[in-house]
Amino acid sequence: MAALTKEQRDDLFANAPVPKALATLAIPTIVSQLINLIYSMADTFFIGRTGNPYMIAAISLSFTLFMFNIPMSGLFGIGGGSYIARLIGLKQYERVKHSSAFCFYGALALVLVYSTSIAIFMKPLLTLLGASKDTIGFATQYVWVVVVIGNIPTVLSATLSHLLRNVGYSKQASMGLSGGGILNIILDPLFMFVILPDGYQVMGAALATTLSNTAAMIYFIIVFEKTKKETGLSVKLKDARIDRDDAAQIFKVGLPSALTTLLMDFANMFLNSSMASHGDLQLAALGIDLKIERLSNAVCLGIAQGMLPLVAFNYSTKNYARMREIQRDARIAGIVVALVSITLYQLLAGTFVHIFISSKGDPDAVATTIAFGILFLRIRCLAAPFTMLNFVSSNGFQATGDGRMSLIQVFFRQVVLYFPLLYGLNALFGPVGLVAAYPVAEVLSSIISTILLERKMKRVKQEFIAEGVRV
């Protein structure tokens, strides 16, 4: 397994031209994001072949609970990864070992608590999310397999990939996530249309997802063991003990990251339940669009996540000019991607939506779902460039270990802006208002987050100058 030496990694982080360094870390991350996006879409795609909008709606409801794995893996993966990147800049490899093991077992304990809670309160939760008599049976199948049983490998594989990427092993992180995604795409039709009987397509999709994530988790554990001398990472229980200062540094970044995605999950729960009140077909259309729009977001997030370890390393080595250049190049690349995606979504909205639902079902239901899907997609895609600006700001704060600024950004983006907009625009404009709340909130929050990041960078510059560093 080809891997960077410590010297090669440090040279990449500290000296390589910024576009090269950013591409080296971001491209594998983008590839894995896209492949995992495709495999998350695969469930919706193959279930759409049944022409049953109620199965699609059930997947949309269930996916909200499944998406809670992102804040759990972010708590320890992003929090730990950011801190580990800074420790590498300081050459504190023993602390890297203990911090990584702590993150692995911390994520394991957290996901066990979450999955157990879902098993106990599943029916009331699904009802709260908007499950109807036509969708709750399908949703229950999916949640039992993917969330209750399968969330352990899902969260652990995501956590381990974050840690690998932040020590410069972006290709290995990409291979694990991509391999799991490809396996899922292969297993989906096998379980849905060959092994299980008709009517159990949702169960088949759930089994495929869980098995593929388990394979990815096993791969990452093997990679950790084979590369431990170069990375310093560990998944051994005996290495999981860390002091309070190290734990505080992990949680200072991890908690705001987890809170960001947690609030987004609650917002999606409110969005889904509110849309369900307008009808199952509107909910199915929204579920399709949430999958489609993740294409541009996945690329932009991959760029921002590739930026994070580079900024963190250069922050610890006090290379201010390189930090700023990395942030600037990441911002430009992401906005270009976002603008291209808006153009494609506006021109080809119908083509994208048709991919995810077959015309062989009830003609009236299918036509209504497609019409709503096209309208919703053309509205929500307008958020893309502003979402990228938010990604750069949040990852910039995480890279410098600034939990306070991350929390402020989260508060404004979700609590002050998005939740009230969802409620207010739904009351005024119904389904269209619900989908319009997202781009409006992203525009306003991107202005605030960019201002906050620029102020943060000015303070960092002043700190470096006060320490006698030439900037």
What's the CA gap between 273 and 265, in Å, rounded?
12
- Residue 100, pLDDT > 90, answer yes
Q: Confidence class of residue 4 from pLDDT cuts 50, 70 and 90?
A: low
pTM over 0.85: no
Residues 107, 76 contacting (CB under 8 angstroms): yes
Answer whether residue 52 is part of any domain.
Answer: yes
How do residues 415-455 score in pLDDT, each as one tens digit?
A: 899 999 999 999 999 999 999 999 999 999 999 999 999 99
Exposed / middle / buried, residue 120 (Cβ in 10 Å: 0-12, 13-18, 19+) = exposed
Tokens describing residue 58: 């059930």
How do residues 36-80 score in pLDDT, each as one tens digit?
A: 677 666 776 777 777 777 887 788 778 778 878 888 888 999 889
Query: Helices (DSSP H) in 90-143: which residue ranges?
Result: 93-129, 136-143
Answer whether residue 11 is part of any domain.
Answer: no
Total structural domains within the chain:
1
Exposed / middle / buried, residue 182 (Cβ in 10 Å: 0-12, 13-18, 19+) = middle
Answer whether residue 471 is part of any domain.
Answer: no
Nearest to 130 by CA among 277, 258, 259, 235: 277
Residue type, 251: F
Q: Confidence class of residue 390 from pLDDT cuts 50, 70 and 90?
A: very high
Tokens describing residue 423: 């409620």
Give the mean pLDDT of the chain: 87
Answer whether residue 8 is part of any domain.
Answer: no
Phi, psi of 152 (to 5 degrees): -60, -55
Give me the torsion for CA of 264, 267, 271, 274, rounded to 10°.
170
User: C-alpha distances in angstroms, 242 versus 79, 94, 118, 238, 248?
Assistant: 14, 10, 30, 10, 10
User: H or E stretch including 62?
Assistant: helix 53-66
Answer whether residue 306 is part of any domain.
Answer: yes
Is residue 243 left, alpha or beta, with left meaning phi > 0 and alpha meaning psi from -120 to 50? beta
Residue type, 387: T
Average pLDDT score over residue span 17-36: 85
Mapping DSSP to helix (H, G, I), strand (E, B) and coil, where does residue 356 land?
coil
Answer whether residue 6 is part of any domain.
Answer: no
Domain that includes residue 229, residue range: 18-466
Q: Running DSSP on this structure, what letter comes out for residue 147?
A: I
Answer whether residue 12 is part of any domain.
Answer: no
